[in-house]
Structure 1
Amino acid sequence: MLVWLVVGINAASGEGEQCTTDACEAGNDVGTLLGTGLVVFFWMAGAVILGIIWMVTNRGARQRREDR
């Protein structure tokens, strides 16, 4: 996910060199922000989903360790 984030930001920053107007640069910045936000959202959603799955599947193992 980190590689995807870095590559996306790097690719978006290179596209701004072709812009000749402020509107083009602003549009590029907004697109970069949306793309970065989407990657971070997927990253966090995946972390939450995997965390919930881990908590549910390890519940019995944690209880057995406490009984020892």
Structure 2
Amino acid sequence: MLMLVWLIAGVNAASGAGDDCGAQQACQDANDVGTAIGAGLIVFLWAAGAVILGVIWLVTNSRSAAREARRRPPDTW
């Protein structure tokens, strides 16, 4: 949720920054490119964090599942 708020706030803040350019199309285009790069970076960090947390969860969850399997006696003796 925090990443989504960060993305929306960043794009919203950058959308009005091109108003200082006036009629210069190159300046407005540069502002748009910078906004796209910033938004892409936020999405990349979001995805990288999700992958890292997912791997950590898988590693810790598989260990606890293996321990639980060793604690239980077999179904048939």
- Bucket of the pairwise TM-score, normalised by the shorter protein: 0.7 to 0.9
Shift of 1:26: 0.4
1:45 paired residue among 48, 52, 55: 48
2:58 paired residue among 45, 50, 55: 55
* CA RMSD between the two structures: 1.6
**Distance in structure 1 (CA, Å) of the matches to 2:53 and 2:42:** 16
- Matched length: 67
Bigger proportion of residues as helix: 1
Relative contact order, CA 8 A, sep 6+: which one is greater? 1
Which aligned runs of 4 or more in structure 1 are off by greater than 6 angstroms?
none
Partner of 1:22: 25
Secondary structure of 1:58's aligned partner: helix
TM-score (norm 1): 0.88
Shift of 1:24: 0.5
TM-score (norm 2): 0.78
Identity percentage of aligned residues: 58
Partner of 1:7: 9
For the pair shown, which has the larger CA radius of gyration, 1 or 2?
2
Runs of at least 5 residues in structure 1 that lack an aligned partner in the other structure: none
